[in-house]
Amino acid sequence: MNTKAWLSAFRLRTLPLSLSCIGMAGFLAAYANKFDGSIFALCCITTIFLQILSNLANDYGDSINGADHAGRQGPKRAVQSGAISLVSMRNAVIVFMLLSLTSGLLLLWVSFGTNWRGFATFFGLGLLSILAAIGYTVGKRPYGYIGLGDVSVLLFFGLVGVMGSYFLFTHSTSWRELLPAMSCGLFSIAVLNINNIRDIESDREAGKFSIPVRIGKEKAALYHWALLLTGLASAVVYTIINYQSPWQFLFLLSAPLLVKNGISISRKPSHELDPYLKQMALSTLLFVILFGVGFLLSR
């Protein structure tokens, strides 16, 4: 087995982003005195499996549909480069689908026990998450190819990722948690937007009509600013509503990194944007950590 090729296919640099929504939910639960270490650990494991599943399915689907080809600007994908065969990648997708399902079922059992109504509801959300991870680039009509990837990221990295995970801790939620969920979701879309701006030419050639392909790089850069500023504003509004201490604005220390990312996306050519994917993902994780620590210090 080519371990290096598989680790590359897992795209480990995307994991901080996927863990950000779980971290936000964990901090919110701790602020409400409802944190549970077992639930948090299982949320993290399940999310990691889902993220890797999504990455592998993306590699598999883009290879089949032609988005990964010699003219693509980003890093070489495993199937595209020949490091991993199409059959092996398909089998890996199945394995991580089963791992995600198993981990998710254990998580629901720890959270809900014999509360079958809650168990069934979140089992349905879990199945939707698995289908979303696979369906982005796999299938006859992958939704990522018609520009719906941003909506999916907002839903699963924002609303479901934060509010759903928060519910697993507390068995309750309110409209207020929608605001930090929006922050995580919008920052996650920003990461996808960088990816799509970088690949704008190769995606256009492959018939993958992401938002940057539809509106062009210049407008996609403005869209990027809207994502960053709206995500930051959502956190500010939530903090004002729940204000107790200046510590709660600690997350604003991450704002310069977000501004730097926005400026870079606006000014640099598409083929130079790859490093800013990681920078945006890590900036999102830092934002979540500062947000959570600030709220805990305010208690």
Looking at residue 157, its pLDDT comes to: 92
Looking at residue 72, its pLDDT comes to: 45
- Is the Cβ–Cβ distance between 219 and 242 less than 8 Å? no
Angle between helices 37-65 and 86-112 (to 10 degrees): 160
Q: Hey, is 18 helix, strand or coil?
A: helix
Looking at residue 77, its pLDDT comes to: 64
Q: Which of 92, 109, 111, 152 is nearest to 128 (CA)?
A: 152
Distance of alpha carbon 183 from alpha carbon 291, whole angstroms: 11
Rounded to the nearest 5°, which phi and psi values hold at 290? -65, -40
Which position has the token pair 């549970």? 36
> Alpha helix (H) ranges present in 199-273?
200-206, 211-215, 217-241, 255-267
Angle between helices 255-267 and 274-297 (to 10 degrees): 160
- Is the Cβ–Cβ distance between 176 and 241 less than 8 Å? yes
pLDDT in tens, the chain (299 residues): 578 888 888 888 889 888 999 999 999 999 999 999 999 999 999 999 999 999 998 888 877 765 544 444 555 667 767 778 888 889 999 999 999 999 999 999 999 999 999 999 999 999 999 998 888 878 777 888 888 899 999 999 999 999 999 999 999 999 999 999 999 999 999 999 999 999 998 888 878 899 999 999 999 999 999 999 999 999 999 999 999 999 999 999 999 999 999 999 999 999 899 999 999 999 999 999 999 999 999 98
Distance of alpha carbon 277 from alpha carbon 210, whole angstroms: 17
Biggest CA-to-CA distance, the chain: 56
Distance of alpha carbon 157 from alpha carbon 188, whole angstroms: 7
Give the chain's length: 299
Q: Hey, is 268 helix, strand or coil?
A: coil
pTM equals 0.92
Q: Domain segments of the chain: what residues?
A: 3-297
Distance of alpha carbon 89 from alpha carbon 13, whole angstroms: 19
